[in-house]
Amino acid sequence: MLHAFSGPFRMAITLWPFISALLTIPVLALIYHRCGRITLSALVWSYLAVLYALGLGCFTLYPMPEGTSGLGITYGVAPQLNPFAFIGDIQKDGVRAVFQIVANVALFVPLGYMLGRGLQWKWHKVLFAGFAVSLLIETAQLTGFFGLYPYAYRTFDVDDLMSNTRGALVGLGCACLVGVIRPKSAYEVPPIAYHPSFVRRCIAAIIDFGLCELCSLLVVGFYAALILLLERHGLVEMLGTQPQLNLAGAGIVFPLAKADDMAWITFWICLVIFELLVPATRGGSTLGGSFIRMSCETKKRRGAMRALFYGLRFGVFFCVFAPSIFEGAALWVPSVCVLAYPFCHGMPYDLLPGSPQIPEGKQGV
């Protein structure tokens, strides 16, 4: 019976390094948000969670149908909606059916344990999470992996839904038992780091720049939809890639911004907001910095000195994202900052005078 799990297990192990590499930034950001610092145990548990998620997906959805006929290709598998069908399965298949039930319970034990031990969730949250994850998997099986295949190639089974949910609760019970043997201190929100490490600064910057790109894409998408709508009503004409507003009745004709120009303008507006206005009004924490609990203001500065600090800091971003204005600056400006970091114990603009934010040694990096 165990040979059926060998293929999905190999698939999960094979994908693990690649998916882990792709998830490095989100994993580190979540560790900083949760723990306030990178620790070996947090890294191990985080990447084991990635392996578990891969295994869960592979065991429940892999292998997928191939060819031009068969399950999921030309006909579907009917859902099993009888919550007591497992009794008949045990009577008919004996040990094999019992093994299947135990496997469905065991599959969700790690989920309940990690939520209970790692995140210290209560039983009702674990119950909901176990049910929700199981329902997502069963729905994927029912819909042919959300429409990838025309029919269901595995069975939507309400018994599996119940067994998986019980497994999550069993995992929570194991976490509670381990907690009795080895108690874990209550979770405390990590303090804001005023002397963040270089890695932490980079993660905050990646989050902020990603938000800038996301906002830019949303605005450009809305702008393109608006141009298309106006074009259909004859109010806009396209001259190549250049949209032109044409209000014939009012005698108004003038060019509108291209989509690329709109994306560039929106990105810079967002960059000014996220990297200049937001931290200046929130104690040095950008949106990304707030999530990973850090401030870019390593010292307390006031007036002109604080304005100079933010001016120099934004100047670095300006050189990186506007290389056409400062040729070569996109390379040498960040290079200077990286090389100077070990000697400055921060970025060069952190050397500007000011009073300490907090006593040294009161926080982690």
Please give the Cα distance from 321 to 262 (Å, whole number): 16
Calpha distance 112→79 (Å, rounded) = 26
| Inter-axis angle of helices 198-232 and 24-35, nearest 10 | 120
In this prediction, residue 84 carries a pLDDT of 82
Alpha helices in the chain (DSSP H): 6-22, 24-35, 40-61, 85-93, 95-106, 109-113, 123-142, 144-147, 158-181, 198-232, 259-272, 278-281, 287-291, 303-321, 329-344
Low-confidence residues of the chain: pLDDT under 70: 1-5, 239-241, 247-254, 323-330, 358-365
Q: Record the tokens describing residue 60, joined without a space.
A: 């429940």
What is the model's pLDDT at position 188? 82
pTM over 0.95: no
Q: What is the structure's pLDDT at 168? A: 97
Q: In the block, which residue shows the tokens 């496997």?
A: 103
CB 250 within 8 A of CB 215: no
Say if CB 144 and CB 86 are below 8 A apart.
no
Q: What is the pLDDT of residue 64?
A: 82
Q: What is the pLDDT of residue 66?
A: 80
What pLDDT score was predicted for residue 251? Answer: 58
